[in-house]
Chains A and B, each alone.
Chain A
Amino acid sequence: MITVGGIGTILIVSLIFFFLAWVIAPLFRGAGFGAGESLATLEGGPPVELGLDVHGAQLWGLTPSGVFEVHELPTGVEVSSHRPVDAALGDPTSLTVGPARRDLCLGFGDGTVVWGELEFRDGFLAEEEAAALDSASVELEVGERMPLGEGILERTPLGALRTTEFVVEMATPVQPHGEVGVVHCDVSTAPDGKVFALLTEDGRLSIGRVRERENMLTGEITVTASAIDLPYEERPGAGWPEHLLLAGLGKRVFLVWDDGEVQHYQIDGEGQPSLVETVGLLPSGRNLTAFAPVLGKNTFVVGDSAGGLTAWFVAGSSELGPSRRLVRGHELPEVPDGWATSIASSPQSRTVAVGTSKGAVLLRQVTTEEALGSAPGFADVDAGEERAIASLVFDEQEEQIVVVDHAGTIGRLSGGLHHPESSLSALFRPIWYEGYERPQHVWQSTGGSSEFEPKLGLTAIVFGTIKATVYSMMFGAPLALLAAIFTSEYLRGQTRSSIKSTLELMASLPSVVLGFLAATLVAPFVQDRLASVLVWFGVLPVLLLTGAYLWQMMPRQLALRLSGLPRLLAVTLLVLLSFVVARWTGPIMERVLFSGDMEAWLGGRVGSAEGGWALLMLPIAALVTTLFFGRVVAPRLRRSGQDRGHSAQARVEFLKFVLGVFLCLAISAGLAVLLGSGLGLDPRGSLVGPFSQRNALVVGFVMGFAIVPIIYTLSEDALSSVPGHLREASLGTGATPWQTATRVVLPIAASGIFSALMIGLGRAVGETMIVLMATGGTAILDWNVFNGFRTLSANIATELPEAVAGGTHYRVLFFAAFLLFTMTFILNTFAELVRQRFRKRAYQL
């Protein structure tokens, strides 16, 4: 029984790993669409546009004469046919259907433009009602369908009777340009209504909108169209453009010619229309073979006669301005055999299905430039009679693609796109998102509209995790190690164990408490007294060292007698004193180096670069000075000092230290002048930058505080497990306790300390609450100490409760957790192995 329980527990443990892996696995599965089956053949040849209902039971095709023919699938039986406008208008000269298959825009030879919305409408019928309409409905089994009136009746899995009917709702026709034939028209939905773009045979291009006003008294509806003309430039010899696209919210129009030339028009913020640019979409010698806007209508995909596929959008933010240019954002994997004849956008994501001249269907993710998969076409059509795809369409769930080839054969491919936005490269490589200026690492998982594209760049978040870890280790590790050395080498007995257990108690402090204090206490304090806080990092060691040198000058007898608790008290006093000194010198430094206002200096508003360099170079200067004194001055002093007495030597040492401090300041000032004025470099913008209240310094400080206990305990254990006889031998040969600690004990305990650091690192990587509460939470890639960041753990904690189970976002968050899990697991395993080796070695000694 115990064996079962034990093994069971261990299974649970490994379950975590496999469960996470199992959840994230679908992210990296490509799209799977099997070979298609041909269903039926349409009599009148291929339609211009296609649409599917959500149940995959009906297909509409829009014929060149502007008639919607609705067919039942898979039989292909015609269910109904709709002519949305008066037949007297004749055949439309322009037909446009939006990428989501909802918006329709028709233009006619007499200048009439009309738009509408397409919908499959569901309704439910009671048994009796259905039987009254058609007695055959009683015998309908679950999943079976039959035509009923203008629609289709189906028995759902729950046994209800559902009718689905195709409905076209058209707006009132308008003639914005008078009775001039329409060449192209397009319609978009802006927040305040429909916007249309129109090109007529008199060479007039305009963007306009239509207002419907209802007269309150008569109930009469008056329709007024207002339009802004764009300066259309004719291309002599090239004829009319092949396509017109009204992009985004209706401020931008693209005219695309057959040879790949595109004219880009816009109406800017002041309402001024202009031709922004003329761009060639294709290499010379190629022709445009397919053109389609993708979801959101801000990006369009073009296919050329050599099989190339490219996606274009306007770079820069969605605001209007002269610098917004059309760019080739993505080059999608080419069509391997033949060329694209038709492109369909998915209604859910920036994914397109490409129908080729050889009858195959290819799937391409536009944003990540991934080839998601391909289907060879209809399995049951003989390879000899390859037929080009005329038109194709996704269903709502991205689970079916219906295609129609040039012979009018309807084919259906079933499968799934799964998670098209995610792949390893999409998660970690910079991605050029629609509207951005350049490829970037962006994390923005949720947005307002259904057309929003989730941006799941994990790199910035992983970077934030590393930044948090580095800064907190910079603060916590030295503190913990130094404290551990003191505890193990200088303290004995009761004091030691009580101090140790106090610090260990700190480990059990809930991190939410630390996070709360960081946000309410530390962050405002740091903002208020930024200069003092920074100065304090320098003041504390200087003061402590001063104390040490002064202590040396005391008579030896007295020093020995006071070496216990009084000394520790003196140190504590010095620590307290350092706060006072820093509080006092901080504003002075701020005035001297940073023009009196550090926040403004960081924001780049006042001051020069030297001030920042002087502060940044201080640690380097200190290192240089220490090396110089250690290698050059100290040996000479020692040699010449052999005949000096103890106190005289102490005085010389103290003098040396004071000189060192000044030298250090001088070096950093010199470096600052050299870097700032000499080389003209400015530290702002890289290591330091604009200040935000919740920043990496605060997190580093508080999280450092959080990891101190664990590093302290483990390294103290490592230090005190160094056998006593080694220490005694060293002391016996005349070494001071400090020399013993640094030259004998530390090297032996090094691997143990290393593993302690590793474990502390692991703790810092996964810390959630402190980061969550003490940082701004924006995912940015920079090392600025005074800026916030977003870490994997905080990201999971904030976003997971809102993520839809099973969705891409949800699984990507699981992937983030998996990353954290593996990162810490590797760190910890490594630390554990090192520690075991250390134990063995310490045991051998």
Chain B
Amino acid sequence: MWLTAGALALGLFMVFGLLGVVGWNGSRTLWPRSVVLAQTASGDAYLGELQRQDSFVPGADEYSRLGQRADGIRARLAASGGVSQRRLLRVARPGPEGENYNLWIPDFDLAANAELGPETVAKWSESLLRPEWAMTVERLSGGRQYGLLAGWIEDGEVVETDPERAWGLFEARMGEVESLRRQTRRIERDEVGSINDRLERLRLAQRRAELNSGEGSEAVREAEQALADYREQSIEKLDELAAQVRESEARGESFELLLESTDGRETRLPLWGIVRAFPPNRLSLGGKVGVYADRTWEFLSEDPRNGIQEGGLFPAIFGTVVMTLLMSIVVVPFGVLAALYLREYARQGVLVSAVRIAVNNLAGVPSIVFGVFGLGFFCYGLGKGIDELFYAERLPNPTFGKGGLIWASLTLAVLTLPVVIVATEEALSGVPSSMREGSYACGATKWQTIRRIVLPRAMPGILTGMILAVARGAGEVAPLMVVGAVALAPELPFALEFPEFGVNRSFMHLGFQIFELGFKSPDAEAAVPFVYTTTLLLIGVVVLLNVLAIRVRSRLRKRFLGS
């Protein structure tokens, strides 16, 4: 009996442990960490964010690197069995494009510890400095840069060297640069994008004319003319837009933040390339909360930057939501119809119960099998057919004949179909036959009975099924890997374009993002915390949906019990 209780306790422990780990790691990723200055005994100094610490046993190569200091350190570590503590620091190479890297710093290598007696090891916290004006600068590309704030530059000239005032100038100018950047992005994405789209459409129209009425025909000449006309018109407009963009860029580049790295070198960071900058060691709690909130908002509403390791996940959130929505639009009517047929219309017999078993079992078929089916049937079957019929002018570039949002949604719809069927059937069988008979007795037809009496009663069950299907669909990744999820999609899978509305595009997905970042990222040390945050978001969504399902069910059940 104690074994059984232990098993249960272990199970619960693991659930909460897992949620706790994800919750803790996920929520602290975006918290601004202080920037520390570590000075090593060999005279190097590093400025960066503290990641984590662990203990290790220095190997022979580690000692040989230390040179003549090795013996002293060996003696000092002998007391603790050769084990030393070390800390992982995330630092950046100097320069505006200097990339991030991770650095383990052993405790014995710290300058403060080297000066102490052989027996004592100073606390890390004592041997670290937290310079007041150490800055964390998040860049558009290349991750973060760290450095001491040394001045403010306008038009290439240093106008301020006092950090306090330089910071004030930065804060005053950042807002303007941000709005310029937003404007530029709008120009590039919307206006230039729409011109290019139009050009592409005209080019395709010409190609279509060629295919339909042969080369050199009247229609082709017309299409060619239209294309040439528009090209002429658009060139001027494009030039104008480009000039606008250049102007904003020049303005954004004219302000620069001057940072001093630990070796005394100066780094000039143009405001145009800065997303966010702050002196973490000076920030009050309120200031930190402010940065945290700002980063969280960016996470939820912006595009990713620096590969997919930083910035926001809005495209992935959007992709997940749109895909799930499309999926439920497809799956619910079909699932309900099938359940209605099985429960209300089909004659109960061997065949129907066999079908029921089959549907039940389909819920247990591995999701990757659905992915394979989706790829073969939807993408390469249906998609290719559609391409040949309607988009012949774009071939050999596939329009629908590849992985895309619509096919992913349909694949997941097939995957979740059994969930909806089973839940709906259960709900239908829960409707007492007395109510049905009552309805018939009043002279209602079968359809009227189902519509007015049975369906409303079964609604909670149907809704539960739908929400469960949505929860399963949102968390499923394996089939998506095959039918169109990508790590970084250039465009959102939605557009106001007739007739495809962008649903044929590849899309980003939270779950797939976890896989890509957590599994394939070259810089795992940097990616993992971000994955935790993504995981937290995904678990949040899925758990929320599940809890919602349970709530809806119990509320509707109560209402019916009351009536």
Contact = CB atoms under 8 A, between A and B. Distances in A.
Interface of A: 2-3, 5-10, 12-16, 19-20, 23, 478-483, 485-487, 489-490, 499, 501-503, 505-506, 508-517, 519-521, 540-541, 544-545, 547-548, 551, 567-568, 571-572, 574-576, 705, 708, 712, 737-738, 741, 759, 762-763, 765-769, 772-773, 793, 796-797, 800-801, 805, 813-814, 817, 820-821, 824-825, 827-829, 832-833
Contacts of A767: 366
A796 B368 contact: yes
Contacts of B477: 510-512, 768-769
Contacts of A515: 515, 519
B167 interface: no
A9 B334 contact: yes
A519 B377 CA distance: 33
Contact of B340 (A6, A16, A479, A501): A6
Contact of A486 (B4, B376, B528): B4
A793 B368 contact: yes
A13 B358 contact: yes
Nearest to B214: A159
A6 to B, nearest CB: 2
A533 to B, nearest CB: 14
B365 interface: yes
B364 A763 contact: yes
Interface in B341-393: 341-342, 344-346, 355, 357-362, 364-373, 375-377, 380-381
B373 A9 contact: no
Interface string B396-419: 000000010000000000100110
B63 interface: no
Interface stretch (B13-21, B94-102, B427-435, B458-466): B13-21
Contacts, number: 272
Contact of B338 (A6, A510, A772): A6
Contacts of A481: 7
A479 B10 contact: yes
A5 B482 contact: no
Interface in B46-66: none
Contacts of A572: 9, 12-13
A139 B543 CA distance: 72
A490 B1 CA distance: 9
A515 B342 CA distance: 37
B488 interface: no
A156 B414 CA distance: 42
B5 A568 contact: yes
A126 to B, nearest CB: 13
B535 interface: yes
A545 B3 CA distance: 7
Contact of A832 (B5, B357, B418): B357
A510 to B, nearest CB: 3
Q: Is the interface of B mostly helix, strand, loop or mixed?
A: helix
A764 to B, nearest CB: 10
Given A6-B338, A9-B421, A10-B355, 18 more contacts: A2-B337, A10-B359, A13-B359, A16-B373, A20-B372, A20-B373, A490-B5, A499-B12, A510-B475, A512-B477, A512-B511, A516-B519, A544-B2, A575-B9, A773-B518, A797-B371, A801-B403, A825-B365
A486 B12 contact: no
Closest 3 CB pairs of A and B: A766-B366, A6-B341, A510-B475
Contacts of B360: 828, 832
B546 interface: yes
A514 B186 CA distance: 39
Given A12-B414, A813-B372, A824-B364, A519 B6 contact: no
Contacts of B511: 510, 512
A5 B340 CA distance: 9
Interface in B492-527: 511-512, 514-515, 518-519, 524
Given A482-B4, A767-B366, A797-B371, A16 B414 contact: yes
A512 B514 contact: yes
B275 interface: no
Given A9-B335, A821-B369, A505 B543 contact: yes
B15 A503 contact: yes
Contacts of A551: 2
Given A521-B21, A820-B368, A824-B366, A19 B373 contact: yes
B472 A548 contact: no
Contacts of A575: 6, 9-10, 13
A15 B4 CA distance: 44
A567 B9 CA distance: 11
B89 interface: no
A567 B346 CA distance: 52
Contacts of B346: 6
A438 B295 CA distance: 59
Given A490-B1, A551-B2, A796-B368, A9 B338 contact: yes
Given A5-B341, A510-B476, A513-B539, A503 B6 contact: no
